[in-house]
Structure 1
Amino acid sequence: MMSDMSELKKTLSIAGIAVLLGAVAIVSAPRRAAPDAFFDVGEPFFPEFTDPEEAATLEVIEFDEEQAAAIPFMVTNRNGLWTIPSHHDYPADGEERLADAAANIISVIKDDFRSDNVADHEALGVIDPTDDTVSSLQGRGSRVTFRAADERVLADLVIGRSVPGRPGLRFVRVPDQKRVYAARFEADISTAFEDWIETNLLEVEREQVDRITLNEYFIDERTLSVVRRGEFIMSKDGEDAWSANEAPAGQEVDTVQVNLLIGAVMTMRIAGVRPKPPGLSGNLREAFEQGQISQSDVQTLTSRGFYPTAEGGLLSNDGELLVRTNEGVLYTLRFGEIVYGRGEAVAVGDDSSDEEETGSGENRYVFITAEFDESALPEPDASDADAHASWENRVREGREKAERLANRFAGWYYVIQSGSYDRVHRPSAEFLKDIEEAEAD
């Protein structure tokens, strides 16, 4: 009997272990969603959002794991003016790009249901980047929000990881919901500052440029003295011919290099901006004469590599480039201090900027001004009424453009990318070449 009881206990023990293992298997196996979990597959995320033109604000929040911080980017329309609030309210060229992005978000549908388990959010990359209740720095997605002019939310999604084996599909989630879907999301919603601003900042066209001046000097910061190298002026003589004020014997202007310089000016890449103090946003000479510039204003100038003179002028760390057009607009680009750092530290400026000098491949402060140069449009003889009327129109248009651009540049220090700086800040010797002897007939 004892033997039978032992066998029974042994059998029950084995059975118990089997039941336990079975329970563990059930818990750890991937859960299959019930059929009713797919009730909304195929539906749009935001059925009431149908008109892309209704979008007045786009906000994209990404998470920087290195800084353990959410990084916001916003572009919005305020009273008809597009600005970038996340970047000092700098004017944006954003209407068309925002409408395209809105049209893309409208077209996103719930292609497939994936999970309603909060524990899956990290693996799928759909944790809200602004969620402070979650300790994990990983698995945070990008939150994309569109709002109407009245601040009403039109669309709001957290965009997560790509769906393995299904190109073009991403895991997505509405921020206040647990459900995660796979959805086709291929919209190019850039958070790069330079993608949302005027690409041809100076509004210069190649054929308009008729004079270029390289004012070559630098500031010895130890003695605060100006070390001048010379002023090299190149003037357009014909459709594709240039001459220089100081071309050594046997040399001439290299037109190819001039065209490369003009192209670099047209495509100058802006990496960031900094707002100027009010006293520095107008005419410096008048501001100095009227005592509108404080000592702190002067410090903001010098810290960026710009030095006011007693005459109300302005010198810069690394010289100047002056570009004039046949419209009479004269642009002056003054090259200041190096801007170290990367990412938002360069685009917006913050305390995390890298102060360590890492070489020449860095960004650069540029102080840009525009003014009207009357000498670009000589007045014709008044006896020719038609020619004189045409000249008056051109002068008026030139003045208006110069004033508009001066107002655009007045409030900002610009930071240009290192590559752009290297292309627009070149020594005069690079624009000369040996005169080629004419080929014999």
Structure 2
Amino acid sequence: MRTTLVFVVLAAISAGLAWWSKPEAISKESDVTEDRVGQDVFPGFNDPELAASLEIIQYDETLAQLKPFVVAKDRQTGLWKLPSHDGYPADAAEQVRDATTPLIGLRILSIASTDRGDHELYGVVSPEDSSLAAGSSGIGMLVRLKDATGKVLAALIIGKEVEGTVGQRYVRIPTEDVVYTVEIDTRAFTTDFRDWIDDQLLDVRGFDIARVGVRDYELVQQANNTMGLTRNFDATVAYDAAQNRWSLVDYRVYRGGAALPAEPEPGQTLNTRFLNDLRIAVQDLQIINVKRKPAALAEALRAETIELKDQQSIASLQEQGYFPAQGPQGTEIYASGGETIIGTVDGVEYVLKFGKAAASLGALGGDGQADSGGLSRFLIVQARLDPAQFPQPDLEVLPETVEELLARDKEQLGDDAPADETEEELRERLEVVREQIAKENQRKIDERNERMEAARQRVEALNARFSDWYYIVADNLYRRLRITRDTLFTSASNIPGGIAPAADGNPPPITSADGQPSAKKPPGDASGDTASPSDSTPPDSAPAGDASQTEPQSLIPDDLQSPKSNSPGDPEPPAADSPAGPGDGEGTGNGKDAGNGNGTGDGGTRPPAAVDA
């Protein structure tokens, strides 16, 4: 009985102490925090240049997982990177300063609460709280700045907006229970990947584009669990910025594995509306996320000739929708989403290889909504030199004799040619003229070589940047960049000012770049001769629009199979020197992809079909 009374007394004393001490503690904290009204939240932080990292941490209440966004300065290079995105380079110096500035001189307007139980009400629950679970609510956004040593300069949990105000928010310092109201612009705390990077991936302007090429093929799953290749057509079109005109430089379809020169279908012409929009899409090409490639794959893509030998690289490519094929000139990478080739006036070609599509690849924008309904697509970019932009200069022949000098004078000067020169004077002038011509010829050669070397260095620098990354683009952008037969050609009657087919169904005459009728007739045009219909299609050319009728060629030989697709007895891969490049039936290619071709073509006897843009 006596023991029971002792426990009762002790319990009563403990309850009384708890009742007495709780309001006293809150009262004291209130007294302290009321004194802070009008003061800065972070009085010791006033230099934005001290910031070496910025973390913006949010919590996905539906998935019950953190969504961290981190930008940090590399200690060795001093450059900003995005650790939350595999270390992708950030264009973030100004952005970090913009995100830092709101925290400097951030003044406390009032005290909303000192009770921890009110955190959910004001939306200032820490996203790093270990007790969070699916369905948790009232979770704020944590912004944390650190210096180069890792010391926290400022940390703030930003909660709900204060009702009836503009720009005011409830906030809390993570180590405190007190909830303040402040006026803060949260737009600088964006976690949209695109806001933190150089959004011009290619840095190509619309008027820099000189040529556009396409390799149209299909990758088909075969019975032996390998991937087969069916080629459809290759095409190259050129753009004349001065004339605002597109012209068809080369068009080939595949029959029996061979690329044969062809013409558009009767009544079809270049779809200049699509091509002009493609120029804009290239100029505005933006990525919405990235994924780092395996180191061995990145290193292989930086080499002059691609050689893939490790299973990790092969598996990574296949996972993203790419399939390598080994040939005598190295490994070529085929893309499940097709290829578009952009050639520029400075001699650099950009090969855009589109991989698989998936709904989970995109990054959420600032409004929490993904682009294109969430559908995105992988993109590999490779740069290569376009020799077609560096033709050999037109060099003048040096006169060897006085007679050749006089003939040159008559051709260039006519009646103004010097007269009554002595033999000695002519010989002296011959040496002077030869020296002048030699210097001018060398200047032309040097100018061409310097341009080519600048382009080669540009290609090397671009591939050093592109090789590390799978880029991810929105599907709506992909549709603007992906060229098919249906988007490349359209009925002439659909083009403003276009010419519809004649009543007899024959197409209008193909014109060259100067607007003159082409000497070569379109397929099926028998006007002016009595040739039979079969004569209109030469034996070495393909009917208009004819796609390949061959069986798919198998990709990925045995020694490059990933474990999941390895199958004994796989067919040999397609030869990398098969006709593949736009306008290059030889398929010798250049730069990174064996067999890609440079688009110059060996069937260039047909004058280009030009269409005003």
TM-score range, shorter chain: 0.7 to 0.9
TM-score by length of 1: 0.82
Pairing 1:82–2:83 present: no
SS in 2 for 1:151: coil
Query: In the alignment, is the contact (CA less than 8 A) between 1:232 and 1:428 conserved in 2?
Result: no
Give the alignment partner of residue 338 of structure 1, picking from 353, 357, 370. 357
More off after superposition, 157-166 vs 109-118: 109-118
Pairing 1:324–2:327 present: no
Return the structure number with greater relative CO, CA threshold 8 A, min gap 6: 2
How far did residue 143 of structure 1 move? Answer: 0.3
Query: In the alignment, is the contact (CA less than 8 A) between 2:37 and 2:108 conserved in 1?
Result: yes
Give the alignment partner of residue 268 of structure 1, picking from 274, 285, 293. 285
> Which residue of 2 is the match for residue 190 of structure 1?
190
Pairing 1:364–2:382 present: no
AA aligned to 2:376 is N
> Which residue of 2 is the match for residue 256 of structure 1?
273
AA aligned to 2:163 is P
How far did residue 89 of structure 1 move? Answer: 0.8
AA aligned to 2:155 is D
> Which residue of 1 is the match for residue 564 of structure 2?
none
Give the alignment partner of residue 96 of structure 1, picking from 90, 94, 97. 94
Q: Distance in 2 between matches of 1:289 and 1:273?
A: 22
> Which residue of 2 is the match for residue 351 of structure 1?
none
More off after superposition, 335-344 vs 403-412: 335-344
> Which residue of 1 is the match for residue 316 of structure 2?
300
Q: Distance in 2 between matches of 1:276 and 1:407?
A: 13
> Which residue of 2 is the match for residue 243 of structure 1?
247
5 Å-filtered alignment, 1:210-225, equals: 210-222=210-222, 224-225=227-228
> Which residue of 2 is the match for residue 309 of structure 1?
325
SS in 2 for 1:420: helix
Structure 1 spans left out of the alignment, 5+ residues = 1-26, 348-358
How far did residue 288 of structure 1 move? Answer: 8.5
Cα gap change, 1:399 to 1:121, in 2 (>3 Å)? same
Q: Distance in 2 between matches of 1:167 and 1:60?
A: 23
Query: In the alignment, is the contact (CA less than 8 A) between 1:339 and 1:364 conserved in 2?
Result: yes
5 Å-filtered alignment, 1:90-129, equals: 90-129=88-127
Pairing 1:71–2:67 present: yes
Structure 2 spans left out of the alignment, 5+ residues = 1-22, 252-263, 366-371, 396-439, 500-613
Q: Distance in 2 between matches of 1:134 and 1:249?
A: 66
SS in 1 for 2:289: strand
Q: Distance in 2 between matches of 1:227 and 1:398?
A: 33
How far did residue 333 of structure 1 move? Answer: 1.0
More off after superposition, 206-215 vs 263-272: 263-272
SS in 1 for 2:108: coil
> Which residue of 1 is the match for residue 484 of structure 2?
427
Q: Distance in 2 between matches of 1:52 and 1:174?
A: 19
Query: In the alignment, is the contact (CA less than 8 A) between 1:171 and 1:180 conserved in 2?
Result: yes
Query: In the alignment, is the contact (CA less than 8 A) between 2:239 and 2:245 conserved in 1?
Result: yes
**Cα offsets for 1:225-259 (capped at 9, x unmatched):** 21222112111134211101344455443433222
Cα gap change, 1:150 to 1:250, in 2 (>3 Å)? same
Q: Distance in 2 between matches of 1:285 and 1:141?
A: 43
AA aligned to 1:273 is V
Q: Distance in 2 between matches of 1:360 and 1:60?
A: 25
AA aligned to 1:125 is G
Pairing 1:181–2:200 present: no
Instruction: Give % identity.
Output: 31
Q: Distance in 1 between matches of 2:272 and 2:153?
A: 53
Q: How many residues align?
A: 397
SS in 1 for 2:186: coil
Query: In the alignment, is the contact (CA less than 8 A) between 1:217 and 1:318 conserved in 2?
Result: no
Query: In the alignment, is the contact (CA less than 8 A) between 1:157 and 1:174 conserved in 2?
Result: yes
Q: Distance in 2 between matches of 1:365 and 1:398?
A: 27
> Which residue of 2 is the match for residue 416 of structure 1?
473
AA aligned to 1:305 is G
RMSD: 2.9
More off after superposition, 227-236 vs 321-330: 227-236
Q: Answer with 1 or 2: which has the greater Rg.
A: 2
AA aligned to 2:239 is K
Q: Distance in 1 between matches of 2:287 and 2:73?
A: 21
How far did residue 362 of structure 1 move? Answer: 2.1
Pairing 1:51–2:47 present: yes
